[in-house]
Amino acid sequence: MKSNRTIRWGHRAAGLALGLGLMIGGFARPAAAVPPPERDWDLSVNMYGWLTEARLSVQGNVEGGYPGQKFTQYFNDDLIDAFNDWDGGGGGDIAFRYHRFVGRLEGAWVQTEFDNDGWLTNSFADAKFGFRVLDIRRPWSGDESMVNAPRASVDLLVGARYRYMDNDVDVPNLVRDTRQDWVDGIIGISSSVGLFPNLTLEMVADVGGFNIGSSSQLTYNLNPRLNYRAFDHFNIFVGYKHLKDEREGAKDVTLSGPQAGIGYSF
């Protein structure tokens, strides 16, 4: 229990730090943020907090039961529960481009308590690389010669996601404490649309698994974000991340919820 309290205090400290960062970015008088000039490369580093609702279904053995006797248990923790219990976590990502070659690296950690029925800890890291198939000035921007005209882009991606899951079920007569990890091959797409010179709507989505080896039967990830360039290199963003894995044997897990963070663009 001591470790659980430590984790919760860690969540609170991270939430407070993130809140202060967003307040500074939102209410401080910003310098005139100028989008970078056209160049052959881009690089951004982002950190975020993630408030997650979680849904989990697991199979296990009945304690003291006959050999082979199984149970299936379903757990659900909505956003209100997650907020009250300071559940969730955070992560970070790096996005880069060189000419039309692109890449994205991301990692995150989250933890959820299911009303004293157990804990679910999730960590993941993924790497995706690809090619920019579309990069144009936003068609409705007006004068095509404007340096600050917002742009629209689409990238095709391929990569892999490593997932570690530790679910500890603590229900009367039911026992399950399982640690497992696996790797899913994934294909995806990322896109961005400049709404204004300093405001961009971004989306990353991928799907994979396909029951290859020890991978998931199906995994998919959706992550839209609204990114605001508050200063020349400093960004703040809000978004929503939904990550689901469907595993063989009724071991399905879904994590989804709002995220907010800060970033630095070179």
Instruction: Retrieve residue 148's tokens.
Output: 């600050």
**Left (φ > 0), alpha (ψ -120 to 50) or beta: where does 77 sit?**
beta
Gap between the Cα atoms of 236 and 226, Å rounded? 9
**What confidence score (pLDDT) does residue 11 get?**
53
**What confidence score (pLDDT) does residue 13 get?**
46
Kindly report whether the global pTM for this prediction surpasses the value 0.85: no
Q: What are φ and ψ of residue 140, in 5° steps?
A: -95, 15
pLDDT digits (tens, 9 = 90+) for 8-32: 545 554 554 455 455 444 444 444 5
**What confidence score (pLDDT) does residue 24 get?**
45
Domains located in the chain, CATH noted = 2-265 (2.40.128)
The per-residue pLDDT string of the chain (266 residues; one tens digit each, 9 = 90 and over) reads: 434 544 554 555 455 445 545 544 444 444 457 766 778 999 999 999 999 999 887 665 555 544 455 666 677 888 888 888 888 899 999 999 999 999 999 999 999 887 766 788 999 999 999 999 999 876 555 555 555 567 899 999 999 999 998 877 666 555 556 788 999 999 999 999 998 878 999 999 999 999 888 899 999 999 999 999 999 899 999 999 999 999 876 578 899 999 999 999 99
Nearest to 183 by CA among 206, 204, 205, 211: 211
**What confidence score (pLDDT) does residue 69 get?**
58
